[in-house]
Structure 1
Amino acid sequence: MLGVQCCYSVQINRGSATLQLLGMDENKVSLAWLAGPLSGLMVQPLAIQAPLRALVTDVASEGQQPLGNAYIGLMTGCGNLVGSFLSSRSLTKLFPIFRTDVQALFAAAAFILCLTVGLCVTYVREKPTSAAGQGYQRAPSERSAANVSSARAPRFGSGSDDESFGDSDGGANLFTWFGFFTLFVFVNTWVGRNIYLGSSSAAEGSDARRLFEAGVRLGGLGNCLTAFVTVVYSPMITSLLERYGTRRTYAFSQLVEALCLFAAFFIRGTPGQEHPSLLLKTATLITMGAFGVVWATTMAVPWALVGAALNRRYPGRVGLFTTLFNVSQSFPQLFVSLGSPWILDKVGGDVSVVMAIGGLFALVGGALIFVLRVDLFDDDVEERSVYELEDTVRDEGGERQEPMY
């Protein structure tokens, strides 16, 4: 996942700005981002994130899955840090075989992805560890966590039936990604235009062009701060879930997302000033850094919910359903990519308007978490300890197996 997020990071840091500097109309840049969600929808079984999520569900016990998904959030933060760092360097000095920094940057990201995927497929062994699997053993250190998260049935929707997870957890995740994608596509453009008051279409070497490029560099620093907050916040996710519950923890991230995207509309440079003030730069960086809370939560909580439900209902079809769940991230990207040019035409190219609309979607997602009662734990279901569950495991011949502690 570190390699995947490194690729995303260089795209977020350089994608939109590079297209604009090459001459693409900034109102149409979002259309170029259609390539990602379209390919995601068409080749989902090969889209890399879904197999990785299925792998977590496959090799980690239920008690460890929230922690496993939190580690994925941690690795995405590390990938963001690596990608943002590479985006800020002049890589042609290190790799003179490339003509431009952009070529060297994306080649480096591709190499890192191949390296991390190679390590994963070499060292991870697919050995299912669900309580219903034959030969399953739970380590002593897992028992306390299992009593909390495995003994209770996950709740999705208005009842405790796990089959409704696609309507509730998927719905909340869908609205989260509406906001996310507005950030991915427009964040550096927002800093360059709204904060620095520069222009990507200005002549090369002009003051307006230099201001825009300076804004893009500050946006890269903001993305680094997002990654840092992700790395710090991700290890805290499991403790927050236990202390405050799934809904509060999940909804808090939606509120942070909405506030950050709304703030983008109000944080603006002052015409006539040569450069943004220190206060304005600080507000910009804080707004971008706060997204680390959202990213860490979104990488962990929805997938822990889905994994827990699939382990109970469809343990043999985890890959299929995680792939389908991943579609809830692709559809919002299509919507934003296609709808943004129309909105930008109406508002004079102000990308902060699109970001603020993304904030509205984030609020809807937060409301859905409570309306649909999305929860990792269902207190209405009679609790059964993991020991009782394992006592009922039977072998292939139908004979009762003894617990194997």
Structure 2
Amino acid sequence: MTNPSEDRRPRPPATRPPPHHPSRPAASTAAQSKVSKRILLRVASVACGIQFGWALQLSLLTPYVQELGIPHAWASVIWLCGPLSGLFVQPLVGHSSDRCTSRFGRRRPFIVAGAVLIAIAVLIIGHSADIGWAFGDREGKIRTRAIVAFVFGFWILDVANNMTQGPCRALLADLTENDHRRTRVANAYFSLFMAIGNILGYATGSYSGWYKVFPFTKTVACNVECANLKAAFYIDVVFIAITTCLSVSAAQEIPLSSLPSEAHEGSSSTQEAFMWELFGTFKYFPGIVWIILLVTALTWVGWFPFILFDTDWMGREIYGGEPNQDPYYSAGVRMGALGLLLNSVFLGITSVLMEKLCRKWGAGFVWGVSNILMALCFLAMIVTSFVAYHLGYLGHGSPPAGIVFTALFIFSVLGIPLAITYSVPYALISIRIEALGLGQGLSLGVLNLAIVIPQVIVSVGSGPWDQLFGGGNSPALAVGAVAGVIGGIVAILAIPRTRVQKTTPLP
């Protein structure tokens, strides 16, 4: 790679090759040449705290926004803040962390700042009903001020999640650089801790008695369901504080300012050229990187309808309830949280086996088969909804045990492809883009574009799309199934099983 100091002639930002990134020399120093698996485990542990909050968010917040008065058709629009913030925040944070000159390291300051923002955000979300009441909300179908507080906290939460996860994955990549097997192991650890966080978060969300443990959470503005959510977020704050301390204390990063001057000279470049730099890297990508990005996009077109509506699907289409109208919906949401807990158990088991599966069958084949399995599970959900509707119990009683068992089984099996989605794409993109000389933070930001753009499309379109076919969640799940099959076929046929060949770095 050309040293930036050898040629200082100005070039247009749009055509400027990506500068020399500091992650390579930092990670290749002798001090970090062989980081133990115990340290990798501790560094990855922050994923447990982050995912604990995500589990509460994914299982409880779509039902909660409907209880605040937002119609089902527009509930998905609330989730736009996640992909929109990820579209800009994660690449920018990754770019900035590649160049951070803090004496505490490049990644750790962003991880700590993100964790603090997560804590602030969940407290705002948990108290949104109380905030709305304080500003004039009273009993009514739509609690406008509470919705404003909720959306504000939700935006902060998604920004904070993106601020934390990207640098953590980049830090793991820094610690395992040039060792492709250890890179896969590190990402499997991250996926494993995500599973553990999910299990604990979904278990917390499925328990309906937190308001008794923390009786002060129930107020005139906050009913039992709201109080349970608020208490769960209190637990989340404590949990993420513990895991963040474990993670940042384990990784002894070398500050960028301590490296030779040529390793961080690019850090003085202006941030205004960032987006030009990000998009300017695209022309250097080999075909295999574009295939990974395509399969990633198709995979998340599949996953996002499920993530949006999993517990809502259980409450509406299996238990036959409606928010704020009968007890069946709340019972279904809690049962959905239990299903997601089982999902996380399968996710954790698969994460432990990830390295062996990829070594035996190839990462592309494993990823493709998992996408097809995901699509089959979505089709099974649609069939289960159809059967439940024609059994005639919806709105009149509890669902039959066979229907509930089938729904829980589907949720559980979906943990297998979810574990692969959380691990394999990150390992593949990290290995291949590292050979081009890009910083790990920026490279993961590029991958994030392939995740958030489909999420924006699904967030905008899934609610009206479902409404076009009479409501329910089946139309969006059908689109997800089709995307999963296409992505699976592309991954199997187009991602080579051979080892990554040495790639000429960018000029």
Task: Give the TM-score of the pair, scaled to structure 2.
Answer: 0.64
State how far apart, in whole Å, the 2-side matches of 1:177 and 1:196 are.
27
What pairs with 1:4-403 in structure 2 (closer than 5 Å)? 4-44=50-90, 45-46=92-93, 47=162, 48-60=164-176, 61-89=179-207, 90-99=209-218, 100-126=227-253, 163-200=286-323, 202=325, 209-268=326-385, 269=388, 270-272=391-393, 274-314=397-437, 317-371=439-493, 373-375=494-496, 377-378=498-499
| CA distance in 2: counterparts of 1:318 and 1:164, whole angstroms | 19
- Find the aligned partners of 1:164 and 1:55 in 2 and give their Cα distance: 26
Deviations 1:116-156 (A, max 9, x none): 2232112212369xxxx9xxxxxxxxxxxxxxxxxxxxxxx
1:3 is matched with 49
Q: State the 1:97 CA deviation.
A: 4.3
CA distance in structure 2 between the partners assigned to 1:127 and 1:169 by the alignment? 31
- Residue type at the aligned position of 2:409: I
Q: How far apart in 2 are the matches of 1:263 and 1:126?
A: 47
Cα distance in 2 between the residues matched to 1:34 and 1:106: 22
The whole-number CA distance in structure 1 between the counterparts of 2:63 and 2:464 is 20
- 2:15 is aligned to none
Q: Which amino acid aligns with 2:166?
A: A
Deviation string, structure 1 residues 339-365 (Cα, Å, up to 9, x no partner): 012212211112122112111111121
Q: Could you tell me which amino acid in structure 2 is paired with residue 73 of structure 1? A: S
Amino acid at match of 1:21: E
Q: Contact 1:165–1:306 (CA<8 Å) still a contact in 2?
A: no
Contact 1:179 1:355 in 2 (8 A): yes
Report the counterpart of residue 401 of structure 1 in structure 2: none
SS in 1 for 2:435: helix
Deviation at 1:189, TM superposition (A): 1.2
Deviation at 1:51, TM superposition (A): 0.9
Shift in Å, 1:68: 1.0
Q: Quick check: 2:466–2:474 contact (8 Å CA) kept in 1?
A: no
Q: Deviations over 1:25-46 (max 9, x none)?
A: 1111101111211221231234
Q: What corresponds to 2:24 in structure 1? A: none
List gaps (5 residues or longer) in structure 2. 1-46, 94-161, 219-226, 261-283, 503-507
Structure showing the higher helix proportion among its residues: 2
- SS across alignment from 1:175: helix
Q: Is the contact made by 1:59 and 1:125 (CA closer than 8 Å) also made in structure 2?
A: no
Q: CA deviation at 1:178?
A: 1.2
Gaps (5+ residues) in structure 1? 134-160, 203-208, 383-405
In structure 2, C-alpha distance between the alignment counterparts of 1:252 and 1:109, rounded to whole Å: 34
1:322 CA displacement: 0.9
Are the counterparts in 2 of residues 258 and 360 from structure 1 also a CA contact under 8 Å?
yes
Deviations 1:306-339 (A, max 9, x none): 121133221x511111112112211121111100
Q: Which residue of the partner structure matches residue 386 of structure 1?
A: none
Equivalent AA in structure 1 for residue 171 of structure 2 = L
User: In structure 1, the residue corresponding to 2:303 is in which secondary structure?
Assistant: helix
Task: Give yes or no for contact 1:197–1:271 (8 Å, CA) kept in 2.
Answer: no
Render the CA deviation track for 1:144-178: whole Å, top value 9, x for unaligned: xxxxxxxxxxxxxxxxx963344111111111111
User: CA-to-partner distance for each residue in 1:55-92, whole Å, 9 max, x for gaps?
Assistant: 11100233311111111111111010010111123333
State the secondary structure of the residue aligned to 1:116: helix
Are the aligned partners of 2:365 and 2:497 in contact in 1 as well (CA < 8 Å)? no
Q: Give the share of equivalent positions with the same residue, in percent.
A: 27
Write the distance in 1 (CA, Å) between the matches of 2:378 and 2:294: 20
Amino acid at match of 1:51: P
Within 1, Cα distance between the matches of 2:482 and 2:306? Answer: 13
Per-residue deviation, 1:246: 1.9
* Contact in 2 for aligned 1:265/1:356 (Cα 8 Å): yes
Q: Distance in 2 between matches of 1:232 and 1:95?
A: 33
- For residues 210 and 95 of structure 1, the distance between their equivalents in structure 2, rounded to whole angstroms, comes to 22
Q: Where do 4+ consecutive residues of structure 1 move more than 6 Å? A: none
1:169-196, CA deviations, whole angstroms, 9 ceiling, x for partnerless residues? 1111111111211111111111111111
SS in structure 2 at match of 1:313: coil
Aligned length: 343
Q: Find the aligned partners of 2:237 and 2:75 in 1 and give their Cα distance.
A: 23
Q: In the alignment, residue 468 of structure 2 is paired with which amino acid? A: K
TM-align CA RMSD: 2.3
Q: Is contact 1:179-1:362 (8 Å) kept?
A: yes
Equivalent AA in structure 2 for residue 88 of structure 1: S
* Residues 183 and 427, structure 2, Cα contact 8 Å, conserved in 1: yes
Deviation per CA, 1:217-250: give whole Å up to 9, x if none: 1101100110000111111111111212222211
User: How much has 1:277 moved relative to structure 2?
Assistant: 1.5
